[in-house]
Amino acid sequence: MPLPPGAQVLPDADAVARAAADHLVAVCADAPGDRVAVCLSGGSTPKRLYGLLAGPDYVSQVPWERIHWFFGDDRVVPWDDALSNVRMVREAFGHGAPIPATHLHFIPSDLGAEAGAAAYARTLRDFYGADTLEPGRPLFDLVLLGLGEDGHTASLFPGKPALDEAGAWAAPVPEAGMTPFVPRITLTYPALGSSRWVLFLVTGAGKRDPLRRLADGEDLPAARVTSAGQMVWLLDAAAAEA
Protein backbone atom coordinates (compact mmCIF):
# COMPACT_ATOMS: atom_id res chain seq x y z
CA MET A 1 0.00 0.00 0.00
CA PRO A 2 1.42 3.44 -0.88
CA LEU A 3 2.08 5.48 2.23
CA PRO A 4 1.81 9.25 2.77
CA PRO A 5 4.87 11.34 1.94
CA GLY A 6 7.19 11.48 4.92
CA ALA A 7 5.86 8.22 6.38
CA GLN A 8 7.98 6.16 8.76
CA VAL A 9 6.89 2.63 9.69
CA LEU A 10 7.75 1.45 13.19
CA PRO A 11 7.14 -1.91 14.89
CA ASP A 12 4.29 -0.98 17.24
CA ALA A 13 2.46 1.81 19.06
CA ASP A 14 5.14 2.06 21.76
CA ALA A 15 7.79 2.61 19.10
CA VAL A 16 5.61 5.28 17.47
CA ALA A 17 5.25 7.07 20.81
CA ARG A 18 9.00 6.93 21.42
CA ALA A 19 9.78 8.26 17.94
CA ALA A 20 7.30 11.08 18.56
CA ALA A 21 9.00 11.89 21.87
CA ASP A 22 12.38 12.06 20.14
CA HIS A 23 10.90 14.31 17.50
CA LEU A 24 9.34 16.65 20.06
CA VAL A 25 12.64 17.00 21.90
CA ALA A 26 14.42 17.80 18.63
CA VAL A 27 11.79 20.35 17.59
CA CYS A 28 12.10 22.10 20.95
CA ALA A 29 15.89 22.22 20.66
CA ASP A 30 15.59 23.80 17.23
CA ALA A 31 12.75 26.20 18.01
CA PRO A 32 13.55 29.89 17.67
CA GLY A 33 12.88 32.26 20.54
CA ASP A 34 12.06 31.67 24.17
CA ARG A 35 8.70 29.96 23.69
CA VAL A 36 7.72 26.67 22.07
CA ALA A 37 4.10 26.06 21.07
CA VAL A 38 2.91 22.44 20.87
CA CYS A 39 -0.61 21.45 19.85
CA LEU A 40 -1.74 18.21 21.50
CA SER A 41 -3.95 15.43 20.16
CA GLY A 42 -6.27 13.01 21.89
CA GLY A 43 -6.04 9.25 21.48
CA SER A 44 -4.26 6.23 22.92
CA THR A 45 -0.92 6.69 21.14
CA PRO A 46 -0.58 10.37 22.09
CA LYS A 47 -1.41 9.30 25.65
CA ARG A 48 1.59 6.95 25.53
CA LEU A 49 3.68 9.84 24.25
CA TYR A 50 2.70 12.17 27.09
CA GLY A 51 3.49 9.50 29.64
CA LEU A 52 6.91 8.98 28.06
CA LEU A 53 7.69 12.71 28.13
CA ALA A 54 6.99 12.83 31.86
CA GLY A 55 8.88 9.58 32.52
CA PRO A 56 12.51 8.99 33.45
CA ASP A 57 13.79 8.63 29.88
CA TYR A 58 12.63 12.05 28.69
CA VAL A 59 11.62 14.33 31.55
CA SER A 60 15.07 15.92 31.80
CA GLN A 61 15.29 16.39 28.00
CA VAL A 62 12.06 18.39 27.68
CA PRO A 63 12.38 22.18 28.20
CA TRP A 64 9.19 22.38 30.23
CA GLU A 65 9.66 26.03 31.15
CA ARG A 66 9.61 27.02 27.45
CA ILE A 67 6.73 24.92 26.15
CA HIS A 68 3.14 26.14 25.90
CA TRP A 69 0.69 23.28 25.35
CA PHE A 70 -2.47 23.77 23.31
CA PHE A 71 -5.23 21.39 22.20
CA GLY A 72 -6.26 20.54 18.65
CA ASP A 73 -9.78 19.67 19.75
CA ASP A 74 -11.91 18.58 22.66
CA ARG A 75 -15.39 17.39 23.44
CA VAL A 76 -17.85 19.77 25.06
CA VAL A 77 -17.84 18.04 28.43
CA PRO A 78 -16.46 19.04 31.85
CA TRP A 79 -12.68 18.81 32.14
CA ASP A 80 -12.98 15.95 34.66
CA ASP A 81 -15.23 13.90 32.36
CA ALA A 82 -13.83 10.63 31.03
CA LEU A 83 -14.38 11.91 27.47
CA SER A 84 -12.31 15.06 27.99
CA ASN A 85 -8.91 15.41 26.31
CA VAL A 86 -7.94 17.71 29.18
CA ARG A 87 -8.49 14.88 31.66
CA MET A 88 -6.57 12.43 29.45
CA VAL A 89 -3.60 14.78 29.11
CA ARG A 90 -3.52 15.54 32.83
CA GLU A 91 -3.59 11.84 33.70
CA ALA A 92 -0.97 10.97 31.09
CA PHE A 93 1.48 13.63 32.22
CA GLY A 94 0.69 12.79 35.85
CA HIS A 95 2.91 14.39 38.49
CA GLY A 96 6.11 13.79 36.55
CA ALA A 97 5.76 16.70 34.15
CA PRO A 98 6.89 20.02 35.66
CA ILE A 99 4.52 22.10 33.51
CA PRO A 100 4.03 25.71 34.65
CA ALA A 101 0.34 26.20 35.40
CA THR A 102 0.05 29.06 32.90
CA HIS A 103 1.49 26.92 30.07
CA LEU A 104 -1.47 24.55 29.69
CA HIS A 105 -4.04 26.25 27.49
CA PHE A 106 -7.24 24.22 27.79
CA ILE A 107 -10.18 24.62 25.40
CA PRO A 108 -12.99 26.20 27.51
CA SER A 109 -15.53 23.48 26.83
CA ASP A 110 -17.64 24.66 29.77
CA LEU A 111 -18.74 27.62 27.63
CA GLY A 112 -20.37 25.40 25.00
CA ALA A 113 -19.31 24.77 21.42
CA GLU A 114 -19.89 28.22 19.91
CA ALA A 115 -18.65 30.39 22.77
CA GLY A 116 -15.84 27.97 23.62
CA ALA A 117 -14.51 28.04 20.05
CA ALA A 118 -14.58 31.85 19.99
CA ALA A 119 -12.84 32.05 23.37
CA TYR A 120 -10.12 29.60 22.33
CA ALA A 121 -9.51 31.51 19.13
CA ARG A 122 -8.93 34.60 21.28
CA THR A 123 -6.48 32.64 23.45
CA LEU A 124 -4.55 31.63 20.33
CA ARG A 125 -4.54 35.17 18.93
CA ASP A 126 -3.36 36.61 22.25
CA PHE A 127 -0.52 34.08 22.38
CA TYR A 128 0.40 34.73 18.76
CA GLY A 129 0.22 38.49 19.18
CA ALA A 130 -1.78 39.22 16.04
CA ASP A 131 -5.22 38.63 14.54
CA THR A 132 -3.90 37.32 11.22
CA LEU A 133 -1.58 34.38 10.69
CA GLU A 134 1.57 35.36 8.86
CA PRO A 135 3.08 32.85 6.39
CA GLY A 136 6.62 33.29 7.71
CA ARG A 137 5.68 33.13 11.41
CA PRO A 138 3.89 29.88 12.33
CA LEU A 139 1.52 29.74 15.27
CA PHE A 140 2.80 26.33 16.40
CA ASP A 141 6.20 24.72 16.45
CA LEU A 142 4.66 21.24 16.47
CA VAL A 143 1.13 19.96 15.83
CA LEU A 144 0.28 16.38 16.82
CA LEU A 145 -2.59 14.74 14.95
CA GLY A 146 -4.25 11.37 14.65
CA LEU A 147 -6.28 9.67 11.95
CA GLY A 148 -9.80 8.41 12.55
CA GLU A 149 -11.20 5.34 10.87
CA ASP A 150 -13.49 7.66 8.90
CA GLY A 151 -10.54 9.81 7.84
CA HIS A 152 -11.14 12.61 10.33
CA THR A 153 -8.40 14.40 12.20
CA ALA A 154 -8.75 16.67 15.25
CA SER A 155 -12.57 17.11 15.16
CA LEU A 156 -12.67 17.80 11.43
CA PHE A 157 -15.20 15.19 10.31
CA PRO A 158 -16.31 14.29 6.78
CA GLY A 159 -19.18 16.45 5.56
CA LYS A 160 -19.18 18.88 8.49
CA PRO A 161 -19.14 22.69 8.10
CA ALA A 162 -15.86 23.11 10.04
CA LEU A 163 -14.03 21.62 7.04
CA ASP A 164 -14.74 24.78 5.05
CA GLU A 165 -13.81 27.31 7.76
CA ALA A 166 -11.13 29.49 6.22
CA GLY A 167 -11.05 32.44 8.59
CA ALA A 168 -11.57 31.39 12.21
CA TRP A 169 -8.78 29.61 14.07
CA ALA A 170 -11.21 27.44 16.07
CA ALA A 171 -14.68 26.23 15.16
CA PRO A 172 -17.66 24.61 16.89
CA VAL A 173 -18.69 21.12 15.85
CA PRO A 174 -22.29 20.85 17.07
CA GLU A 175 -22.60 17.25 15.91
CA ALA A 176 -19.62 14.89 15.86
CA GLY A 177 -19.25 12.51 12.96
CA MET A 178 -18.77 9.43 15.15
CA THR A 179 -19.41 8.18 18.66
CA PRO A 180 -19.63 9.61 21.18
CA PHE A 181 -22.03 12.02 19.50
CA VAL A 182 -21.36 15.00 21.73
CA PRO A 183 -20.54 18.51 20.46
CA ARG A 184 -16.89 19.36 20.01
CA ILE A 185 -14.55 22.28 19.46
CA THR A 186 -11.76 21.97 16.93
CA LEU A 187 -8.92 23.98 15.52
CA THR A 188 -9.35 24.70 11.83
CA TYR A 189 -7.08 23.99 8.88
CA PRO A 190 -5.56 27.50 8.89
CA ALA A 191 -4.53 27.16 12.55
CA LEU A 192 -3.29 23.57 12.28
CA GLY A 193 -1.35 24.35 9.13
CA SER A 194 0.39 27.34 10.70
CA SER A 195 3.09 25.06 12.11
CA ARG A 196 6.76 24.31 11.63
CA TRP A 197 6.03 20.60 11.94
CA VAL A 198 2.90 18.45 11.70
CA LEU A 199 3.27 14.95 13.13
CA PHE A 200 0.58 12.32 12.46
CA LEU A 201 0.57 9.37 14.88
CA VAL A 202 -1.29 6.43 13.33
CA THR A 203 -1.45 2.99 14.93
CA GLY A 204 -3.54 -0.15 14.72
CA ALA A 205 -5.12 -2.30 12.04
CA GLY A 206 -8.23 -0.12 12.10
CA LYS A 207 -6.28 2.63 10.36
CA ARG A 208 -5.44 0.56 7.26
CA ASP A 209 -8.66 1.53 5.48
CA PRO A 210 -8.34 5.31 5.87
CA LEU A 211 -4.65 5.09 4.91
CA ARG A 212 -5.64 3.15 1.78
CA ARG A 213 -8.30 5.74 0.98
CA LEU A 214 -5.76 8.52 1.40
CA ALA A 215 -3.40 6.67 -0.93
CA ASP A 216 -6.23 6.45 -3.47
CA GLY A 217 -6.58 10.22 -3.39
CA GLU A 218 -9.91 10.37 -1.59
CA ASP A 219 -10.78 13.79 -0.17
CA LEU A 220 -10.72 12.79 3.50
CA PRO A 221 -10.37 15.49 6.15
CA ALA A 222 -6.85 14.35 7.05
CA ALA A 223 -5.80 14.78 3.43
CA ARG A 224 -6.50 18.52 3.63
CA VAL A 225 -4.00 19.19 6.41
CA THR A 226 -1.01 21.25 5.35
CA SER A 227 2.04 22.56 7.17
CA ALA A 228 3.98 25.78 6.82
CA GLY A 229 7.03 23.59 7.40
CA GLN A 230 7.21 19.80 7.26
CA MET A 231 4.81 16.92 7.77
CA VAL A 232 5.75 13.46 9.08
CA TRP A 233 3.58 10.37 9.45
CA LEU A 234 4.62 7.88 12.13
CA LEU A 235 2.85 4.56 11.48
CA ASP A 236 3.05 1.25 13.23
CA ALA A 237 3.34 -1.97 11.25
CA ALA A 238 -0.28 -2.93 11.93
CA ALA A 239 -1.54 0.28 10.32
CA ALA A 240 0.88 0.25 7.40
CA GLU A 241 0.35 -3.40 6.44
CA ALA A 242 -1.16 -3.73 2.97
Give 90-130 pLDDT, tens digit per residue.
999 999 999 999 999 999 999 999 999 999 999 999 999 99
pLDDT band at 36 (very low <50, low <70, confident <90, very high): very high
pLDDT of residue 2: 87
- Given a cut of 70, whether residue 242 has pLDDT beyond it is no
pLDDT of residue 157: 97
3-state SS of the chain?
CCCCCCEEEECCHHHHHHHHHHHHHHHHHHCCCCCEEEEECCCHHHHHHHHHHCCCCCCCCCCCCCEEEEECEEECCCCCCCCCHHHHHHHHHCCCCCCCHHHECCCCHHHCHHHHHHHHHHHHHHHHCCCCCECCECCEEEEEECCCCCCCECCECCCCHHHHCCCCCEEEECCCCCCCCCCEEEECHHHHHCEEEEEEEECCHHHHHHHHHHHCCCCCHHHHCCCCCEEEEEEEHHHHCC
To the question of domain 20-240 being in CATH 3.40.50.1360, the answer is yes
Task: Give the mean pLDDT of 189-208.
Answer: 97
Task: Give the mean pLDDT of 62-70.
Answer: 98
Task: Give the mean pLDDT of 221-226.
Answer: 98
The candidate with the shortest Cα–Cα distance to 194, out of 138, 156, 153, 123, is: 138
Q: What is the pLDDT of residues 156-192, one digit of tens each?
A: 999 999 999 999 999 999 999 888 989 999 999 999 9
Is the link from the previous residue into 180 a cis peptide, with omega within 30 of 0?
Answer: yes
pLDDT of residue 6: 85
Contact between 142 and 197 (Cβ < 8 Å): yes
Task: Give the mean pLDDT of 202-228.
Answer: 96
Would the pTM of this model clear 0.85, i.e. be above it?
Answer: yes
Contact between 11 and 236 (Cβ < 8 Å): yes
Q: Which residues contact residue 222 at a Cβ distance below 8 angstroms, ignoring those fewer than 6 apart?
A: 145, 147, 148, 151, 152, 153, 200, 210, 214
Question: How many other C-beta atoms lie within 10 A of the C-beta of residue 29?
Answer: 10
Task: Give the mean pLDDT of 137-165.
Answer: 97
Indicate the pairing of strand 184-187 with strand 73-75.
Answer: antiparallel
The whole-chain average pLDDT of the chain stands at 96
